[in-house]
Structure formats: structure tokens, C-alpha cells
Structure 1
């Protein structure tokens, strides 16, 4: 692939994730740079604190109703949850690679990776809708018992986060795909990536909590 020229005048090699300036004079992100903006990390911390409270409430309810929760969990389809876990992990990989390619100056590849992450997010939502519809058709809904009340509320809130994350990735795609490099493009990409990784992390906790715990 032909070499490109970055905004600071240094050459960027398309075939590698490393750039010549990074080798001669490390950029700020290689010297303790915190990705994105402080505001996104405050949002992530607040959001994860709220979910931690949700998880604690669920576990306390489980302690008080162990038999009900143990009998309800097998009614969920583990395959749905497992596939969605793989889908979100793949999307996070795409996002991480997209930020790395953007840092290397490869905007076309970064754009494709962001689009790939968005496709994964849409697949996750489609599977979730299918799962909800299957459960409701079998008579399972939030009014069934406390286990399913928590299940529908928590996974529903998470699905809303996926939708917000997709909107954020759409913004990232817009800035990453621009022809002319913008001064804040990398920061915007890091903000979107940070939120998306949080969405993935929350599902990594939700999956075993609802689908696997005996």
C-alpha cells in the first residue's frame, strides 16, 4: 500500500499500525495519554456505578428467593446470550482496531472497521428482539416473577445503551471518513470507542448473571 502523509508532515505506512513519528518521537497517546475526554470517563464511571447497584439488587433478591431464581434461569436460551456475547466482543475488537488505524492515518480502513462494529451492534439488537419475542410467545414477561422482571429491565436498559452506542459510532464514522483530517477526529473516535467498550463490559457481566448462575 502506498505511503501517505500525516498532518504533521511525517509519513504513515498503510501496511503497518506503526508510524514513523511514533518511532522517532512518541505521540501523546504513547506517553500516558488518557483516551477521549475526561467527561466520557465520568459518564462511564457513573453508568457503571448505577449498573453495579442493579447487580447488587439482583443478587440480594436471588439470595432471598434462591429456588425461584434457580427454576427460572433454565427458561432462558443460553445460545442467544452466548452468540450475543461473541457479537459484542467482535464489535469491540473492530472499534479498538479502528482507533489504532486512525492513529496510523489509515482513514479508509478505520471507517470500514467502525462500520463493522455498527453491523455487530445491529446484529446484537436483532438477536435480542428475537429472544424477547420467543420468550413472550412462551408466556414469559416481566410480570412472570421477580427473576424475569429484573431480566427484562436490566437487559432492556442495556439494549438502550447499545442503541446510544450505535448513534455514537455513527458520529465517529462521520468524522473518521472525512477527507481532510480534523483536529479533534481522534478524540471523537476515542470517546465513541470508550462508551462502546463500556457497553460490551456491561454485557459481559449480564450474560453470566442471568444465563449461567445456578
Structure 2
């Protein structure tokens, strides 16, 4: 067997999850969302009555559905990143993950339609401003991530699959923390 082919095959199969850049991205995402979530929680303590009144206007069942959609997308991303996945399997799983990510975006935009009118209403304090900042920032990450999933599915490479699926799982994790804090607290 040619040594060059063997080395390339090993590099293609070797996970790159320990890559320094990847962990900088992961921790910067967690820090940014952590700051926003802390601000949301502090404002929720300071304006407890307004936040309680504002939450009555959120669509928690739709947000729960969106949680299932995003977790299904994460499951597909995990399937794509399996070490034994063929390029075809990874490609298919990445495309399905991206489609579920775009479905998340569509559902969230539909949900926003019923909530946007409450922004600026003094009865709810800063709830909706922080709500749209927090969930909108997440929404942009999901939309961009879904497009990157599609891009990577077009040119499947082990390092790219590991990078985007790891970040995709960070977006899942952030939503899993955000959902109960925003909708159920």
C-alpha cells in the first residue's frame, strides 16, 4: 500500500476535536450566551412581575416543539460525525441536520410574529427586548450553522464535519439552557 494514501486515509479519519481553534470557538460561544443569559436572569429578578406577565405572551408549546426539532437536528449531526460514517452517510445526515435547523428557524420566525408587538410595552419591562436579543442571537447562529452544515455536506471532510457538528451541539446546549430559563422559569 502506498504510504501517501495510507497517511491521507488516517488523517481523514482522525477526529480533529482537540483543535485549538475549535475550542476557542466553543468557549467564546458559551461565554457570549452566558453573559446574555445572566443579564436576562438578573433583569428577571429585578423586574419579576413584568417578566411573569410577559411570559404569558410566549408560546411555550411551540418553543417545546422547536426544542424537539433542534435536538433531532443535533442527533443527525452526531450521526454525521460518527467515526465510521461513510462520506455518503455523513453527507445525508448533514443535509437532514441542516433541514431541521432551517425548520427551527421557520418555527421561531412564526413564533416571533405573535410576540413582536409586545416589544417596547412598558408593562413588560425589558423582557421582550432581552428576549429578542437572546433568542435572535441564537436564531442567527442556527441559521448560519445550517448553511455551514449544507456547505460541509457538499464537500465532506472529517475535520470540517467535526468542527461544524461540535459547534452545532453547542447551539443545542445553549437552547437547552435557554428554553427553561426564558419560557418556563
TM-score, normalization by structure 1: 0.76
- Matched residues in 2 for 1:43 and 1:156: separation? 19
C-alpha separation between the residues in 1 aligned to 2:133 and 2:17? 31
**Counterpart Cα distance in 2 of 1:36 and 1:84:** 30
Q: Distance in 1 between the 2:44 and 2:105 partners?
A: 27
Matched, 1:124 2:104: yes
More helix by share: 2
Matched, 1:140 2:113: no
Tell me by how many angstroms 1:37 deviates: 2.6
Is the radius of gyration larger for structure 1 or structure 2?
A: 1
Q: Which runs of 5+ in 2 are unaligned?
A: none
CA distance in 1, matches of 2:89, 2:144: 23
- Measured on the aligned residues, the alpha-carbon RMSD in Å equals 1.9
* Structure-to-structure mapping, 1:36-55, within 5 angstroms: 37-55=19-37
Instruction: Give the number of aligned pairs.
Output: 174
* Residues 1:199 and 2:181 are matched in the alignment: no
Equivalent-residue separation in structure 2 for 1:74 and 1:66 (angstroms): 13
Checking the alignment, whether the CA contact within 8 Å between 2:141 and 2:171 is kept in structure 1 is yes
Deviation at 1:135, TM superposition (A): 2.0
5+ long unaligned stretches in structure 1: 1-6, 10-20, 22-26, 177-184
The runs of at least 4 aligned residues of structure 1 exceeding 4 Å deviation read none
**Which residue is 2:152 aligned to?**
172
